[in-house]
Amino acid sequence: MLINLRDICSIAEQNNMAIASFNVPSFEALRAAIDVAEQTGYPVILSHAEGHDPFAPLDKIGPTMVALAERSSATLCVHLDHCEHLSYMYKALNMGFTGAMFDGSFLPYEENVANSSRAADMCASFDAGLECELGSMGSREAGSRDEGGTAQESGAIYTDPDQAQEFIARTGLDILACSFGTVHGLYKGEPHLNFDVLTQIRERNNVPLVMHGGSGVSDEDYVKSINAGIRKINYYTYGVKYAGEAVERLVGEKGGKVAYWHDMTTVAYETLRDDFEKVVKVFANGAKPLA
Ligand code: 13P
């Protein structure tokens, strides 16, 4: 069942849990994300990032995501991740995406407000939910997978709680992506999350909050973040890292006798599915499955 970003985040709000948002730029990741939602009974967000278009073009992966979500027994949202161009957002919404993120975090504040408001109007006309980002994670989602480091090293700017209040009121966004110490890509050392930033944003605003750069965070910090108002956690890098390692092991064991379609895709799918299942259960934060 395909539902709206607002509705899937209200399920998270009602249950004090977070919904996993998995990037799915390969059939293995897409199948793993849907199977985990169907098998666990927890809702999942299937995300396509604009920056992944060279590997997974929207016009091919987008209709596949929408069709599979529509016919699934699981509760799913099909979401556009880190979109920087409104024309690209229009294409995704027009093919049936039910949520979109406008990422204006790299723009001067007033330009971020103006473009996020345009995105809000566009999403409203498709009855889709809108996520926007304030502050900056530093590292980009489509950057190299080992780009992350720490929030300080990647030039992150934490979300300002007072500015967040104004930003939400002026843009009409539905959910807010916050920068509070996570980064995209691989961490070098332990991430240090600033829960005060989250708590202050949440005290001033009642919108669901989003953690980007969700992989590599400890289970304890996931739970603390959820209890502080995080309702959507974006997770991708560590899943594909583990899948890559599993493929490497397979090649090491079987030498040159590895078939791409059968051996490699199966081991990648199984590794992604097991890892996605693990995080979905942590993000549920004790809530019962829906189905
Ligand atoms: P990771 O790189 O930590 O998996 O985060 C993914 C993400 O935030 C996508 O928007």
Q: What is the DSSP string of 182-247?
A: --SS-BSS-----HHHHHHHHHH--S-EEESS-TT--HHHHHHHHHTTEEEEEE-HHHHHHHHHHH
Ligand 1 touching residue 241 (CB < 6 A):
no
Q: In 3D, which of 242, 241, 260, 239 has the Cα closest to residue 36? A: 239
Q: Going residue by residue through the chain (291 aa), what tens digit of pLDDT does each one get? A: 999 999 999 999 999 999 999 999 999 999 999 999 999 999 999 999 999 999 999 999 999 999 999 999 999 999 999 999 999 999 999 999 999 999 999 999 999 999 999 999 999 999 999 999 999 887 666 554 445 566 666 667 899 999 999 999 999 999 999 999 998 888 877 888 999 999 999 999 989 999 999 999 999 999 999 999 999 999 999 999 999 999 999 999 998 788 888 899 999 999 999 999 999 999 999 999 986
- The answer to whether the CB of 48 is under 6 A from ligand 1 is no
Answer yes or no: is 236 a known binding residue.
Answer: yes
DSSP for residue 142: T
Sole residue written with tokens 């849990």? 17
Ligand 1: centre distance to CA 279 (Å): 13
Among 154, 215, 278, name the best residue to mutate to test ligand 1's pocket (greatest count of ligand atoms within 8 A of Cβ): 215
Q: Looking at the domain assignment, is residue 271 inside a domain?
A: yes
Answer whether residue 29 is part of any domain: yes
The pLDDT, as a whole number, for residue 189 is 78
Half-sphere CA count of 278, side-chain side, radius 13 A: 14
Atom 3 in ligand 1: residue holding the nearest Cα: 213
Domain CATH for 176: 3.20.20.70
- Count of structural domains within the chain: 1
Does residue 291 sit within a domain? no
The whole domain housing 98 covers 5-283
Residue 289 lies in a domain: no
Residue 232 inside a domain? The answer is yes
User: Is 42 inside any structural domain?
Assistant: yes
**Whether 81 is catalytic:** yes
